[in-house]
Amino acid sequence: MKKVPIKHVVSGLLKLQETGDSATLLGIGPMSPNLLQGSFELAKEYDFPIMYIASRNQVDSDELGGGYVNGWDQGRFAADIREMADEVGFDGLYYLCRDHGGPWQRDNERNAHLPEDEAMELARKSYLADIENGFDLLMIDPTKDPFVIGKVIPLDVVLKRTVDLIEYCENERKARDLPEIGYEVGTEETNGGLTSTEKYEEFIEELKVELGRRGLPMPTFIVGQTGTLTRKTEQVGTYNFKNAYDLAQMAKSYGVGLKEHNADYLDDVTLLEHMPAQVTASNVAPQYGTEETRAYLKLCAVERICTDEGLISEPSDLKNVLLVKAIKTERWRKWMVGEQTKLQVEDILADESLSLEILDISGHYAFNDPEVKEQIEKLYTNLEKVHIDGQRYVVDCIKRPIQQYIECYNLEGSTTRILKAIQ
């Protein structure tokens, strides 16, 4: 299928909202090759476009430190996604999306308190690698700032950084004669609060003026807070339908789609609200990593039973290796609450219950560790001896929550509907 720019897809969805036959696009955090396989299988079966949303910590150029997901830089990420699509036989629409691009968006850059000029230069290098490797959507997010802690960054600063980065990306794209790309913008990180419609419109209006002055395109998405918030392995936010609807209408009046972050672990009632609220897209990421971790642990339990019964001679040590590696990444801290964000690795490892909780939250951060990979392969080999296809089971476990979103977001057949709407 010929690639349709993501901005056109969103335009089609905005048109379909008037007929009641629209959909809410799903942005999937690419936590592993297993997740790529499962999502492509579903997209093929149900005919919907996929967005793969990668943060700079997850996928970035080797020069800037690379990514923790599968060792991907932008080139290997794009190549592996293309290869998986071919392997599954998916010839529909999929989009490579930069989630939270911008200055200080890598943990090490923020922790080092890099000066603004240096942080902006690294952001530009990262975006350039995105552009050169075929990314379709770039989130311009200059709202992480180590020098503004506990405060909201002034709107004029966010606007200037946003427009400067869009201008840079557009210039680089045009210089290479590359296809149109979309942009995603927002005024602050989603934190479970609500974006007021007044603030939202002020940001869009000022952005429109400045982009127009420089001859730059309006964004494809603007991020708005609808009340979602993920902590640990739960949705702890409170969804606000009216706020979501009002923000969506405001965005649509500018020809822009409302994008929501932190949509993990939502119940069916909340998911079904997205259609009447006319939310154009929402992002889900850590939930899929947790589902994969849980699948491995269930397979480990089966392996242990088969070992006890003498059917497997030498079990893998996946559970213990993954537990230790995941805890030592310390990437789980962002999902914890209160004093738990300050826990010491040694104290966690000494507490079995706490260790298992942290493993559930953060196992996916260690999937690419060589020792973890070795133990996964050993697990698969052992289970094959007792006629269990472990890898197939893992993929199917990941597909279950995606299926829930497909149903509630009216995604089935949406590619066909969108293409008709934009013809």
> Exposed, middle or buried, 115 (CB in 10 Å: 0-12/13-18/19+)?
exposed
Provide CB contacts within 8 A for 370, sequence distance 6+. Answer: none
The answer to which of 68-77, 197-206, 370-379 has the lowest mean pLDDT is: 197-206
Provide the 10 A C-beta neighbour count for residue 298. Answer: 14
Which SS3 state, helix, strand or coil, does residue 284 take?
A: strand
Q: Which stretches does DSSP call E strand in 216-339?
A: 221-223, 230-231, 234-235, 257-260, 281-284
List the one residue out of 355, 336, 356 whose CA is nearest residue 346. 355
Cα–Cα distance for residue pair 396/398, rounded to 1 Å: 5
Give the residue-averaged pLDDT of 258-263.
95
How much is the pLDDT for 199? 84
Task: Provide the 3-class DSSP secondary structure of residue 26.
Answer: strand
31 has a pLDDT exceeding 80: yes
Taking the C-alpha atoms of residue 321 and residue 264, their distance in angstroms, rounded to an integer, is 26
Q: Is residue 16 a contact partner of residue 411, using CB atoms and an 8 Å limit?
A: no
Which domains, and CATH codes, for the chain?
6-285+405-422 (3.20.20.70), 289-397 (no CATH)
Reduced to 3 states, what is the DSSP secondary structure of residue 74?
A: helix
Judge whether residue 21 has pLDDT over 60: yes
Residue whose tokens read 């996964």:
376
Residue 363's Cβ-side half-sphere holds a number of Cα atoms within 13 Å equal to 26
Write the DSSP string, 336-350: --GGGGG--HHHHHT
- Share the mean pLDDT of the chain: 95
- In this structure, of 119-128, 144-153, 229-238, 272-281, the range with the lowest mean pLDDT score is 144-153
* Nearest one of 173, 184, 254, 250 to 220, comparing CA atoms: 184
H helices, E strands: number in the chain: 16, 10
| CA 44 – CA 26 distance, rounded (Å) | 14
Report H helices in 47-196: 74-88, 107-111, 116-132, 155-175
Name the amino acid, one letter, at 311: L
Decide if 409 contacts 43 (C-beta within 8 A).
no
pLDDT above 70: residue 102: yes
Segment 140-160 shows an average pLDDT of 87
Exposure letters 315-351 (e unless 16+ CB within 10 A, then b)? bbebbebbbbbbbebbbbeebbeeebeebeeeebeee
Q: What are phi and psi of 359, to 5 degrees?
A: -60, -45
Q: Is the pLDDT of residue 191 over 60?
A: no
User: What is the pLDDT confidence band of residue 153, given thresholds at 50, 70 and 90?
Assistant: confident
- CA angle centred on 381, ends 379 and 387, rounded to 5°: 105
Q: How high is the pLDDT of residue 3?
A: 93
Beta-carbon contacts of residue 42 (< 8 Å; ≥ 6 apart): 399, 402, 403, 406
Average pLDDT score over residue span 232-242 = 94
Contact yes or no for 44/90 (Cβ under 8 A): yes
What are the CA-CA distances from residue 375 to residues 1, 143, 163, 200, 389 (Å)?
39, 39, 47, 48, 15
Rounded CA separation 273/240 (Å): 10
> Exposed, middle or buried by CB within 10 Å (0-12, 13-18, 19+), for 314?
exposed
Instruction: Please state the rounded mean pLDDT for residues 150-175.
Output: 92
pLDDT of 188 strictly over 70: no
Count CB atoms within 10 A of the CB of residue 305. Answer: 12
How many other C-beta atoms lie within 10 A of the C-beta of residue 108? Answer: 11
Q: Is the pLDDT of residue 228 over 60?
A: yes
